[in-house]
Amino acid sequence: MQELENKQVLVIGLGARGRAACEFLRSSGANVMAVDEANTEDLQIEAGRLRSLGIEVELGVKGPPKRQFSLTVVSPAVPGNTAIVREMVQRKVPVIGEFELAYQQSQCLNVAVAGTNGKGTTAELIERMLIQNHRKTALCGHRARPVCSVVAETKDLDYLLLQVNSFQLEMTQFFRPAVAVLLNLSPDHMDRYASHADYVRAYARLFQNQQAFDWAIVQSEALAQLRSLNIPINSKIITFSANNRRADICLDRGMLMGRMPDWAGPLLNMDQCQLRGPHNAENLMAALAVGHVLRLPLDSMVDALKAQPSGAHRFELVGEIDGVKFINDSKATNVDALHKALLSIPGGIAGEPNIWLIAGGKDKNLEYHDVGPLISQRVKGTFLIGEAREKIRAAWSLFTPCTPSGSLLEAVKAAARSAVPGDVVLLSPACSSFDQFRNFQHRGEVFREAVLKMASTSSDHAHSAAAEKPELKTI
């Protein structure tokens, strides 16, 4: 554990994780200076709060201060190739991420869940299993609480449960999970990485410090990608897949099956679970594998997993209006997540398309054309929003009618007008939300509120029509 008292520490980036790092460092006795390139009203408010804790803050900063530091801590939203980070490296100041800082100071075993899609769902499944089996745990990391905010709790925990993305792994040094889960490696964040191979290598850092007695639980297809780049895994491996029946845990006609010598046979019936679809089958498999290596009883794991509902903004059924279902999948911030959402919706009559898709947002330099053939089979029409709408229209217009919309509210209203009973209006953006919204949760809430308002209006009209209907008279 690195000694922090009286250290001169520079924190770069004042997002939630950067702020958590500042507060933890200060509480550990470090002298902290924090900088951020931005200078927004929200940041100014946060800067005032941090200054009240004895933390020096400068906003609108493009380069590092001209003073000596013994450590630099970088928020995951800040790329490692930015000028300010590069200069600290040139000064030979140790540079780590907020995630690595918290790991180095933690005092319990950790279970890490990583991959392009499904991290939140799988981490919540594991959390539910651990709590049901009376294990003390805290869930944090990507999309959850910053890891630095729970370090003080770790001395009383059995496990620290971590959601980990590629950004957090970029600046790891000693990070070593006792159990590491890699769910999938679909293309994402191509606005940050030069190639998909670089993205895969960033995720491979999940395993770089594991030893022979640690565990790696890896989707078969993701493992194949690692091996194609000659990336070794030194720990014990369990594979899982919804498509590969040779995996240690696989999906066979709706049943999750174990194929390991010490864990063979039926494990869980998907029909008994609230979570649906092959992608959720893989999330459930990964959770079962974690429970297995942590020696949890199968019966208690199954009971916990069956009860897990679909999370907010993750293929969430908001409501049904006049026979039209409205689904909030705002968490789908890449093309692979959209692909899985489309496959999860039953087709219309005689297999005809029955989906009105709302997509778009801030582009991550992804290839949208690849999902085109599936869109042609499932989607009646799309309503495109945000910065990426013209790029997406160019990719999808051969496959389905594409209509640009000025806002999400406009898109929801237009989709509702187009839909007929049996149709589905699906928000599954395949883009990040940061062009128009604070985050994907904000985008999902705007969608939900729009649908609920329409449902209320529809109900009022129905009651009014019933009240005004003339009484039927007989002659």
CATH of domain 101-306: 3.40.1190.10
Q: Where are the alpha helices (DSSP H) in 419-439?
A: none
- The predicted pLDDT at position 470 comes to 42
pLDDT of residue 459: 61
pTM for the whole structure: 0.85
Model confidence at 462, in pLDDT bands (50, 70, 90)?
low
Strands (DSSP E) found in 372-462: 379-385, 402-404, 424-427
Q: What is the pLDDT of residue 456?
A: 83
Report the pLDDT value the prediction gives residue 460, as an integer from 0 to 100.
Answer: 56
What does the pLDDT look like over 105-156, one tens digit per residue? 999 999 999 999 999 999 999 999 999 999 999 999 877 789 999 999 999 9
Task: Provide DSSP, 241-259.
Answer: ESS-TTSSEEEETTEEEEE
Mind listing the pLDDT tens digit for each residue in 329-365? Answer: 999 999 999 999 999 898 888 889 999 999 999 999 9
Of the CA atoms within 13 Å of residue 143, those in its CB half-sphere come to: 23
Query: Per-residue pLDDT tens for 80-93?
Result: 889 999 999 999 99
Burial annotation 214-226 (CB, 10 A radius, 16+ → b, else e): bbbbbbbbbbebb
pLDDT at 473 over 70: no
CA 58 centroid distance within chain: 30
| Distance, CA of 444 to CA of 113 (rounded, Å) | 24
Cα angle for residues 162, 165, 168 (degrees, 5° grid): 85
Percent residues over pLDDT 70 in the chain? 96
Does pLDDT of 408 surpass 60? yes
CB 275 within 8 A of CB 308: yes
pLDDT of residue 474: 30
Characterise 470 by phi-psi region: left (phi > 0), alpha (psi -120 to 50), beta (else).
beta
Distance between CA 190 and CA 194 in Å, rounded?
7
Separation between Cα atoms, residue 288 and residue 176, nearest integer Å: 21
Q: Environment class of residue 439 by beta-carbon count within 10 Å: exposed (0-12), middle (13-18) or buried (19+)? A: middle
For residues 238 and 108, give the distance between their C-alpha atoms in angstroms, rounded to a whole number.
23
CATH 3.40.50.720 for domain 8-93: yes
Architecture of domain 316-459: Alpha-Beta Complex (3.90)
User: Which pLDDT tens digit goes with each residue over 164-186?
Assistant: 999 999 999 999 999 999 999 99
Q: Looking at residues 223-249, what average pLDDT do you find?
A: 97
Question: How confident is the model at residue 351, as a pLDDT?
Answer: 85
pLDDT of residue 311: 77
Task: Give the whole-number percent of the chain exceeding pLDDT 90.
Answer: 84
| Surface-to-core class of residue 315, CB atoms within 10 Å of its CB (0-12 exposed, 13-18 middle, 19+ buried) | buried
**The one-letter amino acid at 53:** L
Structure confidence at residue 469 (pLDDT): 44
* pLDDT higher than 60, residue 472: no
pLDDT of 1 reads: 62
313 CB contacts (<8 Å, ≥6 apart)?
328, 329, 330, 331, 440, 441, 443, 444
Cα angle, residue 275 at apex, residues 423 and 330 outer, rounded to 5°: 55
CA distance readout (Å), 47 to 4, 23, 69: 22, 12, 20
Confidence of residue 96 (pLDDT cuts 50, 70, 90): very high
Average pLDDT over the chain, rounded to an integer: 92
Q: For residue range 114-126, list pLDDT tens digits in order.
A: 999 999 999 999 9
β-bridge partners, 426: 327, 357
Domain ranges of the chain: 8-93, 101-306, 316-459
Map residue 42 onto helix, strand or coil.
helix
Section 304-312 average pLDDT: 88
Most confident of the following: 40-44, 213-217, 304-308: 213-217
Quick check: 211 and 234 in contact, CB under 8 A? Answer: yes
Q: What is the structure's pLDDT at 428?
A: 97
Average pLDDT score over residue span 177-206 = 94
What's the rounded mean pLDDT across residues 295-312? 92
358, containing H or E segment: strand 355-360
